[in-house]
Amino acid sequence: MDKFKSLGISAAIIKSLSDMGFEEPTPIQEQAIPILMEGKDLLGQAQTGTGKTAAFGIPLIENIKDNPQANQGIVLTPTRELAIQVSEELNKIAQFTNVHALPIYGGQDIQRQIKALKKRPQIIVATPGRLMDHMERRTIRLLETKIVVLDEADEMLNMGFIEDIEKILGSVPTERQMLLFSATMPKSIQVLSQRFLHDPSFISIKGKEVTIPLVDQDYYELHDRQKFDVLCRLLDIQSPELAIVFGRTKRRVDELAEALKKRGYSAEGIHGDLTQAKRDAVLRQFREGIIDILVATDVAARGLDVSGVTHVYNYDIPQDPESYVHRIGRTGRAGRTGLAITFVIPREIEHLRFIEQITKRKINRKPVPTVTDAIVGQQRLAVEKLLQEVQEGNYESYKGRAEELLTEIDSVTLLSAALKMLTKEPDTTPVKITEEAPLRIRNYGGSKRPSPAKKTFSKNKPRSGAGKFY
């Protein structure tokens, strides 16, 4: 905790950080906290999983904790899930202070929010649309606002929140402190920061510093029609505790979730077309381990903080390196190891090379597993289950039956049959997965991308440049 202490953080917050299991600040925390405690504006670039929430949350809470007035801190986030998650993290950091954060988002009963707002939370974490709603109803006033944070600003712009953001920023006092965090720095973000930030410090954590060291990265080269069987084999071999499977389109997600269920896996899909209630229900089941495989589009999974995800499967290679980092950032978080697997069809191999080049990480090629590999994996699992049972030792009542059986059948035969019963043999139930066109290589601002070996992508229908947002 010494490094945190040396950043000038008060005892109450040091205590909660240690409660939360934080040992030392992440690079962005180390750089941002001193700047923010001084009250300066900040433009921060960092990928998912680098600890941005605490980077702005700690100074935010420090700066308002001795003066408990309503709505002093406003945090804007692109999605409801992120609003909830950020607000939870802020409340953990603030647990030994009198500061309270409240999430405000679309889809939740507005009367309930109005009631919660009457308790005058010091920090509001909101999606822009719903915050505007409250401003129009005059159930939130921003006159006391001292600090505004735009979290995942690039996502908010991509989702079309620019006008709401401008209106919100226009209603807070001009002498506020403002922070803008974004994983990418497109022109639109630069323009936004020039307009709204005053003499900001700029921090960029990228390239080599992207904190994904604990994720092992593999890829399999195969054809689209092979993908599903190979996915099932990998699931059988690796038996992930909690896995996320990323598909490129909503249709993919629906078909994959259905197909996995047909073959006996406990899976559910989420994407932007589902009702909020349905998405919440699926996420809750996933967090609680009731389902172990979450199938998702990039948008639906953005910003999710589900701890304990052991495997990420990129059923379809992501559109760009940022999405790749976002996706694999879902696993191996906060000190745990994870495995990220990417399926690449031959025409997309250049795309994989580009991701390797930008993320400065090698992605290891693995041979496509066979049916036999899958069976061996499942047998190993059955043996593990059996040995676990032996350790737990609650089988007294079975011993009589066992002895009886052993007088008739030899032990090897009997145990083999039992193992066969315990082993999940490969399921070949037919499933329907519509073939997807290969990824169309996008022009990445003309800079570092190696020229594609084959010009095979022009035939596919252009996706109007918005590949990430299905």
Residue numbers at the binding site for ligand ADP (CB under 6 A): 22, 25-26, 29, 46, 48-54, 305, 333-334
Contact call for residue 311 and Mg ion (CB under 5 A): no
Q: How many CA atoms lie within 13 A of 427 on its CB side?
A: 18
Q: Considering the complex, what minimum distance in angstroms separates the CB of residue 22 from ligand ADP?
A: 4
Q: Rounded distance, CA 73 to CA 4, Å?
A: 22
52 binds Mg ion per the rule CB under 5 A: yes
Q: Is 333 in the site for Mg ion (CB under 5 A)?
A: no
Closer to ligand ADP by Cβ: residue 46 or 300: 46
Stretch that binds Mg ion, among 50-58, 136-144, 161-169, 220-228 (CB under 5 A): 50-58
* 53 versus 378: smaller Cβ distance to ligand ADP: 53
Minimum distance from CB of 240 to ligand ADP (Å)? Answer: 19
25 interacts with, out of ligand ADP, Mg ion, none, CB within 5 to 8 A per kind: ligand ADP
Residue 53 or 297: which CB sits closer to ligand ADP?
53
43 Cα distance to chain centroid: 22
Comparing C-alpha atoms, which of 144, 167, 13 is closest to residue 76?
167
Contact status: 80 vs Mg ion (CB under 5 A): no
185/334 with CB nearer ligand ADP? 334
Report in angstroms how near the CB of residue 133 gets to ligand ADP at its nearest: 25
How far out from the chain centre does Cα 204 lie?
20
What span, in angstroms and rounded, lies between the C-alpha atoms of 239 and 243? 9
Q: What's the min distance (Å) between Cβ of 303 and Mg ion?
A: 6
The sign of the dihedral angle between the CA atoms of 166, 171, 174, 176 is negative
- The smaller minimum CB distance to ligand ADP, of residues 10 and 239, is found at 10
Q: Please give the distance of CA 10 from its chain centroid, rounded to a whole number.
A: 30
Which CB contacts under 8 angstroms, 24+ apart, belong to 205-210? Answer: 205/27, 205/28, 205/31, 205/44, 205/45, 205/46, 205/47, 205/50, 206/45, 206/46, 206/47, 207/360, 208/360, 209/27, 210/47, 210/50, 210/325, 210/359
Tokens 């006033």, residue?
141
Residue 50 contacts which entry, Mg ion, ligand ADP, none (Cβ below 5-8 A, type-dependent) = ligand ADP
Residues that bind Mg ion (CB under 5 A): 52
